[in-house]
Amino acid sequence: MMQKLLATRFGGLYLYGLVFVVLAFVIRLVLFAGAIHDLELSVSAILRIFATGFFYDLVAFSYFTIFFVILLIFIPNRIFRHPAHRSFYQFIYFIFIYILIFNGVSEWIFWDEFGVRYNFIAVDYLVYTTEVIGNIRQSYPVPALLTGILLATAGIWWLIRKKGWLLPAFEAESTLRERAWHGGLLLIAPLLFYATVDHSLAESNRNRFHAELAKNGIYAIFSAFLNNELEFDRFYLKLEEREAFARVRKLLSGPQAPLMGRDDPLDITRAVRYEGAEKRLNVIYLTIESMSAEYMALFGNRGGLTPNMDRIARESLTFTNLYATGTRTDRGMESIVLSVPPTPGRSKVKRPNNEDLFSAGFLFKQRGYDTRFIYGGYGYFDNMNYFFGHNGFDVVDRTQLDASEITMENVWGVADEDLFRRVIKEADRAHGAGKFFFHFVMTTSNHRPFTYPDGRIDIPSPGGREGGVKYTDWAIGKFLEQARTHPWFDDTLFVIMADHCAGSAGKTELPVVKYHIPLMIHSPRHIEPRMVDFLTSQVDITPTVLGLLNWSHASRFFGQDVLRSTPESRRAFVGTYQKLGYIKNNFLTVLSPLQKSSYYRFERGIGKERQERFNQGDEESRKEAIAFYQTANSMRLRGLDKKIP
């Protein structure tokens, strides 16, 4: 059968399909081995992974062939068989085998970083090539990898040439009508797949590693590119719009936050009221890149990675049951600055029409504060400069740091200690001008390639994730030590938190423990140290800080002042670009595309978690989850999330 196929005009394409499928199998096998401790190793589960994966490999290859099938149909026999065309054909063949192997290595690198196949992150990385290529060059032995890819390609090419598998295709005689008939049959497959196939077959695996392994990386990245916007009304369970808004209005309002637009059913604006005088204090949001709670001794880590943050936690108002809304920096920024749940697809930081949103920046700016976004990297990445610059902040990023301010830098940004020195400089400038300040600071050192100045910690650079965490901890300790000598220190709230965890992959749809992050509010003169174990969402951070300042204000935030919350009002939002989770009373409701929902009860522990799935969840929690996410999405689309005049 194979010999007959090779002896047709399309023989080379069939042979390439065999190479494509074999290499896809090898990639899946390598990733499988790397994730083996997180897999269910039953025969049925393994067969399902590889059978589903084989199907997606065929789907990906069918899309891959469209252009080449059309060419093979229309190239005349005399050109196709010409020696010059044969040489060019074989050169292209070599290049495309190289691309397949290169993709396999890239998938391994991406999996090593994120524990998933290509997704939205990979699409973004195609845009931000400078940072990504630089990151890879600083993290991996690139020359050795490229040489290995070239040698592997040469080996496969040598085998093809030795066996003469391409020659029969050049000898095949065919008419245009025969080629059109043959090629037309080949083109039916991608058309059918496009109309009927998405990732739902792979996503039906409850174990997230199983689902990711069952995908094909090439198909996954094109799927992510084409589906960077998921229409909530089309893909998710929903309520009648007024019912959704009515539920959210009721859940967010109360005696301390009555609704302002009582006659408008689509207005969630409340008048948040606090008794007594407002406090005028400086506020520094110190947001740490990829700082999972599990790295701190406070949450059970025994590696001694965070001696400074553990000490600060004992001296601060520390929240021990707080969850990030997502798995990317921009998603964390969205929830902290805008106090909104994650909506399907991209965060607002990277969406169009994200100017003049109701934000923490504008609230502080309206009170005369000096408001700045201070970042050690290039803020064009992830659209950060545009987002902050159009939502109440002035921007200070790497482009504004002089060479004399930089001890060390890598592709993502300057060392955290350099960033913190600039933070102190900006605070001194604002204080010297007689202004209070609100500064949002974003670190970069706890990010691959995990490089930092020598001699700071006992883990040589590059020190991997542990080195990145320990160096950032050292830099934070040094920062507070230096800040203590400045006149503004006593009247400053240092809000130390994470943007997201270091990884989000797990055995369940949404592993809650992988969203667990620390939050410490440090101000020895104004804040009594204590541990707060209330369930808290990242969207609650800014409302809680405003509560500590005793600021009465009009609000469109979805978050609440947790310190004044009731047990029944506490909840948290967690999500990916597709899965939307709602945590309440140790239960997790997950909303998924295709109008699906699932329900889990989880046992929270130090550094671990056990989830139990239910076929039927609490209907009220499910409606609350739908209402919050539907309302947040609707407000974005309708422009109801803008700042209050």
Examine the fold and report which residue of 567, 597, 627 is the final residue of a domain before the chain moves on.
567
- The answer to whether position 604 is within a domain reads no
Side-chain half-sphere exposure of 602, counting CA atoms within 13 A: 26
Q: Are 612 and 507 in contact (CB under 8 A)?
A: no
Say yes or no: 549 and 409 in one domain: yes
- The answer to whether position 612 is within a domain reads no
Cβ-count burial 557-592 (b if 16+ within 10 Å, e if not): bbbbbbbebeeeebbbbbbbbbbbbbbbeebbbbbb
The secondary element (H helix, E strand) that includes residue 33 is helix 11-34
Q: Are 20 and 57 in contact (CB under 8 A)?
A: yes
Q: Are 551 and 274 in contact (CB under 8 A)?
A: yes
Answer yes or no: is pLDDT of 224 > 90: no
Say yes or no: 120 and 219 in one domain: yes
- For the ranges 199-213, 229-243, 321-335, 515-529, which has the lowest average pLDDT? 199-213
Average pLDDT, the chain: 91
What was the pLDDT predicted at 208?
A: 78
Predicted TM-score (pTM) above 0.85: no
Say yes or no: 213 and 330 in one domain: no
Answer yes or no: is pLDDT of 138 > 70: yes
DSSP character at residue 227: T
Average pLDDT for 457-483: 97
Q: For residue 38, what pLDDT band results from cuts at 50, 70 and 90?
A: confident
Answer yes or no: is pLDDT of 354 > 60: yes
The range of the structural domain enclosing residue 45 comes to: 2-226
Examine the fold and report which residue of 520, 536, 567 is the final residue of a domain before the chain moves on.
567
Phi, psi of 102 (to 5 degrees): -60, -45
Average pLDDT for 314-327: 97
Say yes or no: 517 and 442 in one domain: yes
Average pLDDT for 210-239: 82
Examine the fold and report which residue of 567, 598, 627 is the final residue of a domain before the chain moves on.
567
Q: Return the SS3 of 597.
A: strand
- The answer to whether position 443 is within a domain reads yes
d(CA 319, CA 321): 6
Say yes or no: 203 and 347 in one domain: no
Locate the DSSP E strands across 259-369.
Answer: 270-272, 282-288, 317-323
Answer yes or no: is pLDDT of 93 > 60: yes
DSSP character at residue 510: S
Say yes or no: 536 and 458 in one domain: yes
Q: For residue 186, what pLDDT band results from cuts at 50, 70 and 90?
A: very high
Average pLDDT for 406-418: 95
- For the ranges 155-159, 226-230, 625-629, which has the lowest average pLDDT? 226-230
Say yes or no: 222 and 334 in one domain: no
Rounded alpha-carbon distances, angstroms, from residue 382 to 107, 118, 131, 442, 452: 21, 17, 11, 13, 23
- Tens digits of residue pLDDT in 569-607: 999 999 988 889 999 988 999 998 878 899 888 777 654
Number of domains in the chain: 2
Q: Return the SS3 of 581.
A: strand
Answer yes or no: is pLDDT of 227 > 80: no
Percent of the chain whose pLDDT exceeds 70: 94
- For the ranges 222-231, 406-415, 519-528, which has the lowest average pLDDT? 222-231
Q: Can you spell out the DSSP letters for 392-433?
A: T-EEE-GGG--GGG-S-B-SS-B-HHHHHHHHHHHHHHHHHT
Average pLDDT for 311-334: 96
Say yes or no: 180 and 288 in one domain: no
DSSP character at residue 278: P
- Tens digits of residue pLDDT in 433-443: 999 999 999 99
Say yes or no: 413 and 327 in one domain: yes
Phi, psi of 616 (to 5 degrees): -130, 120
Say yes or no: 10 and 114 in one domain: yes
Q: Are strands 492-498 and 516-522 parallel, antiparallel or unpaired?
A: antiparallel
Say yes or no: 188 and 296 in one domain: no
- Tens digits of residue pLDDT in 493-521: 999 999 999 876 666 778 899 999 999 99
- Tens digits of residue pLDDT in 516-559: 999 999 999 999 999 999 999 999 999 999 999 999 999 999 99
Residue type, 595: Q
Q: Are 429 and 441 in contact (CB under 8 A)?
A: no
Answer yes or no: is pLDDT of 129 > 70: no
Answer yes or no: is pLDDT of 326 > 70: yes
Residue type, 20: F
